[in-house]
Amino acid sequence: MRKFGLIGKKLGHSFSKKFFTEKYEREGITDAVYGLYELPGVEELPELLRQEPELAGLNVTVPYKEQVIPLLDELDEAAAAIGAVNTIKVSDGRTKGYNTDYIGFRSSLEEFYPEQERGQALVLGTGGAAKAVWAALDALRIPYLRVSRTEAEGQLSYAQLTAELLAKYNLIINTTPLGMYPHVQELPPLPYEHITGGHYCYDLVYNPIQTLFLQRCAAQGAKTLNGLPMLHLQAEAAWDIWNA
C-alpha cells in the first residue's frame, strides 16, 4: 500500500484528504491511502519519513512551504526559482520538492481573469503561496504590487492602499490565511468601499468557500473566486508527479 499525505502545523482546515480519498474511490485506485500529518515543527519531517517508510509523496501547507526546503535532497527547477515547495516526491529514500501551487494558480487565473480585462494586480501577503502567485503573474506578464503589513522596497503596506491605487489595479489576490476556518471573521484590511464591478478578487483560501474578503468584494459588485479550483488543479499535478 502506497501512502501519501499532507504535512502542516494545523490541518483541520484541509480538504486534501477528502479530495484524494474521493479520487481513489472514483478512479478505482486501491493501492493508495492519504493521511494528515500534523508536525509541531518542520524539522520533524525526517522522523516522519523514518516512521512511515511507505510514504511515496507529501503535500506541504502553511507554514512549511519555505521552511521545508533545506530538509530536502533535491529541488525541481521551478520550485527552486519560486523558493517554495508544496509537493514532495519520495523515491528510493530520497526527497524531491516541487511547486504545483504555481500550476494550479496559473491555470485557474487564466480561466477567471479574461485576457481582454487584464491590467495590474495587488498581491496580499508575502509567504510561500505568494511566491507561486508572483511567478505565475510574471509568466502571464501581469504587473503586480506586493502588499503586506509593513512597507518595504517594492512592497506597500495595507495603510497605503487608496481609492486611486485600487482604481489602477483591477485584480486583487489574497495569499494570506486571513479568513481561513476557524478564523472566519478575519479579512485583509482593505478599503473595500473602493472596490468596484470592474475588480476581480481571488482568495487562495477555500475553507470557508466564501470568505469574508470575498463576501465584501462581491457586495461591491466584483467578480470573485475562491481557492478550490486551484486546490484541485495543484492536487492533480501532485498526483501526476508522484506517479511519474
CATH number at residue 107: 3.40.50.720
* CATH code of residue 76: 3.40.50.10860
Of these residues, 10, 65, 96, 168, which one is catalytic? 65
Q: Who's near 5: CB < 8 A, 6+ residues apart?
A: 17, 34, 35, 36, 37, 55, 58, 59
Domain boundary residue, one of 99, 127, 151? 99
Taken in order 188, 191, 192, 197, is the CA torsion positive or negative? negative
Phi, psi of 28, rounded to the nearest 5 degrees: 70, 30
From first to last of its 244 residues, the chain has per-residue pLDDT tens of 999 999 999 998 788 999 999 999 999 999 999 999 999 999 999 999 999 999 999 999 989 999 999 999 999 999 999 999 999 999 999 999 999 999 999 999 999 999 999 999 999 999 999 999 999 999 999 999 999 999 999 899 999 999 999 999 999 999 999 999 999 999 999 999 999 999 999 999 999 999 999 999 999 999 999 999 999 999 999 999 999 9
**Domain contains 242:** no
141 and 170 both lie in a single domain: yes
The total number of structural domains in the chain stands at 2
65 is catalytic: yes
Q: Which of 61, 84, 99 is the last residue of a domain?
A: 99
Q: Is there a contact between 196 and 172 (Cβ–Cβ < 8 Å)?
A: no
Parent domain of 150: 102-228
Q: CA 162: distance to chain centroid?
A: 26
> Do 204 and 165 belong to one domain?
yes
Upstream peptide bond of 208 is cis (omega within 30 degrees of 0): yes
Q: Are residues 216 and 113 in the same domain?
A: yes
Grid cell 484528504 is found at 17
Domain boundary residue, one of 73, 99, 125: 99
What is the distance between the alpha carbons of residues 178 and 181, in angstroms, rounded to a whole number? 9
